Structure 1
């Protein structure tokens, strides 16, 4: 039997002096979670506000997603499921910068 559930998500963005902040709120009806993200424009870069919005919002959603997975992991443990297998994240970018 197919079911449909709707969750409310709200995204708030604010920008001041080259710093964009994002807050995303999720309400499932049983839990409420909040994710946060920040993006800063480097002084030598051209200020393109939409890029700051995208970065801050993406970071806030990533933060929220991580919190939601933690809740799911806790709920699965509560019903006796084994802990999820965690794989290390693959690094990318400039490796010397990460050392």
Structure 2
């Protein structure tokens, strides 16, 4: 059986002076909310290019989200099998 599924991720970006903070979130089809956070700090000697801070903060937030989703998956496997699970990173 094949299936096509689509998950949506929400990305919120806040900028305050030289700091950019990104929050990403998704809700799995099973109803679990998973979030990730990432931050970028501009070196005061570097030129101000907000897009670069956005990219870095979002990349870090997505990496954090991925790690949290892997952890959620491990817990789901443990709940389904009754055995300890550790997924390769």
Verify same fold: TM over 0.5: yes
Structure 1 stretches of at least 4 aligned residues deviating more than 6 Å after TM superposition: none
Determine whether 1:84 maps to 2:78: no
Q: Say if 2:70 and 2:87, in contact at 8 Å, map to a contact too.
A: no
Instruction: Indicate the SS of the match to 2:9.
Output: strand
Using the size of structure 1 for normalisation, the TM-score is: 0.78
Distance change (3 Å), C-alpha of 1:3 and 1:28: same
Matched residue, 1:68: 69
RMSD: 1.7
Unaligned runs of 5+ residues in structure 2 are none
Aligned residues: 87
Q: How does 1:1-99 map to 2 (within 5 A)?
A: 1-29=1-29, 30-80=31-81, 82-84=84-86
Q: Tell me how far apart the structure 2 counterparts of residues 85 and 12 of structure 1 sit (CA, whole Å).
A: 28
Structure with max Cα Rg:
1
Q: Tell me how far apart the structure 1 counterparts of residues 52 and 80 of structure 2 sit (CA, whole Å).
A: 42
CA displacement 1:4-62 (0-9 Å, x = unmatched): 22222111112120111101010123111111111010111112111100110001101
Unaligned runs of 5+ residues in structure 1 are 88-99
